[in-house]
Amino acid sequence: MTTVLVAGGGTGGHLMPALALAEELVRLDPRVRPYFVGSRRGIEAEVLPQRPWAFELLPLEPIWRRRWWRNARLPITAFRSLRGIRAILRRESPALVLGTGGYVSGPVVWAAMARGIPAVLQEQNALPGLATRWLARRARQVHLGFPEARALLTVGPGTTVFDSGNPIQAPPRERPSKADAKRALGFPPQAGLVLVLGGSQGALAINRAVAEALRSSAWPGDCSLVWQTGAASHSEFVGYCAPGRIAVEPFLDPVAKVYAAADLTLARAGAMTLAELAAWSMPAILIPLPTAAAGHQLSNARALAQSGAAVLIEQPEATGAVLGSAVTTLLGTPAKLADLGAAMAHRARPDAATSIASEVLKLMWKTQT
């Protein structure tokens, strides 16, 4: 067995690509053994015990930008984490390290590269994260979720950059018609269907704007709605449920059946959500999270809006009246919806996981010979 050290976590946006790539590496070559390094405070502490991969959690912490006083303990946790990383590298002797960004990725990939271990980076966002910008010069491969990120990276002479897309679970090759998918969800097939996503935790600002639109005449009356609120605020909005017209859910799993039925999605602009929307050729109204690190969600949304693949509404402008008007206009203009969907489809990389894993394996076996 050949060990690949996988570093990515803290948030689902960094962990999910890492899991997808680990699964694809093993599918393509069963001799590969993924070994995950994560943070005790990250989402991986809950997710990795449910997966078949070996892992170790360290006291890794982010660099706090706004709450700077929380960085006081950083030297202690960094020392302990680096000691743990070096012990893992000695014990596991990985052939390659794969980093998918975030505060977990940076120190792990850096320590591995310092020992001469080949490094591969996967960057999800249009605005590359600090870890990717810091490590790109010495990485052997950098795989981009957004081609716009290339202009913001300085890479070394031995670095190959790929426009690979973000690794997600691809839509089924045989998709039901929208009419059949709507019927399966209990909605009338002739009515437009809007999907509202605020990420796995929901988005309170979006939820309240949608509620405001529903209470007024702004929201189109003949429009069906599937609304993922997030578990924390579901009780505040579940009263808007109306059988056959509005479904209010804390979380959608699987979401594929709703993507198959929806005509338009209203969402945040996290990289993995956008990869799914592109794979499903989904027209979208994007309301990026204004507090996302370094404004990366706004950069993602702008990249799509400028290429004609989405409508961008920044959160301060996202009132119920504005959202209702945008939804009404788009559902009433099929040609515009079609244009948005076609431009979004142009961004799709449904086979990104396979493409990235194949290049990783080529590099790994080349460096092993």
For residue 342, give the amino acid letter: A
CB crowding 45-73: b at 16 or more within 10 Å, else e: eebbeeeeeebbbbebbbeeeeeeeeeee
User: In terms of Cα–Cα distance, which of 212, 216, 222, 280 is closest to 246?
Assistant: 222
Q: Which residues pair with 312 in a beta bridge?
A: 286
Q: What's the rounded Cα separation, in Å, for the pair 177 and 47?
A: 34
The per-residue pLDDT for 79 is 52
The per-residue pLDDT for 198 is 81
Task: Please check whether residue 305 is in contact with residue 287, taking contact to mean a CB–CB distance below 8 angstroms.
Answer: no
Q: What's the rounded Cα separation, in Å, for the pair 244 and 261?
A: 14
The per-residue pLDDT for 218 is 92
User: The dihedral of CA 317, 319, 322, 328: what is its sign?
Assistant: positive
The per-residue pLDDT for 178 is 94
Structural fold of domain 178-346: Rossmann fold (3.40.50)
- Considering all CA atoms of the chain, what is the largest pairwise distance in Å, rounded to the nearest integer? 67
Which strand ranges, in their side-by-side order, compose the sheet holding 2-7? 54-58, 32-39, 2-7, 96-99, 119-123, 141-144, 160-163
Residues carrying CATH 3.40.50.2000, the chain: 2-168+351-368, 178-346
**CATH of segment(s) 2-168+351-368:** 3.40.50.2000
| DSSP letters spanning 30-62 | TTEEEEEEEETTSTHHHHGGGSSSEEEEE---P
- Note the pTM of the prediction, 2 decimals: 0.80
Which backbone phi and psi does 46 adopt, to 5 degrees?
Answer: -90, -35
Residue 225, sorted as left (phi over 0), alpha (psi -120 to 50) or beta, turns out to be beta
Q: What is the percentage of the chain residues whose pLDDT exceeds 90?
A: 72
Which backbone phi and psi does 326 adopt, to 5 degrees?
Answer: -65, -45
The per-residue pLDDT for 76 is 58
The per-residue pLDDT for 231 is 82
Burial of 1 (0-12, 13-18, 19+ CB in 10 A): exposed
Q: What's the rounded Cα separation, in Å, for the pair 337 and 310?
A: 9
The per-residue pLDDT for 168 is 86
Q: Which residues pair with 7 in a beta bridge?
A: 37, 99
Beta-carbon contacts of residue 131 (< 8 Å; ≥ 6 apart): 99, 101, 102, 103, 105, 106, 109, 121
Q: What's the rounded Cα separation, in Å, for the pair 255 and 164?
A: 23
Burial of 33 (0-12, 13-18, 19+ CB in 10 A): middle
User: Could you state, in chain order, the average pLDDT of each consecutive group of 10 residues for the chain (369 residues)?
Assistant: 92 86 96 94 85 88 56 57 88 97 89 96 92 94 94 95 91 90 96 89 90 93 93 92 95 88 96 93 96 88 96 97 97 97 93 95 89
Which backbone phi and psi does 278 adopt, to 5 degrees?
Answer: -65, -45
Q: What's the rounded Cα separation, in Å, for the pair 297 and 300?
A: 5
The per-residue pLDDT for 82 is 76
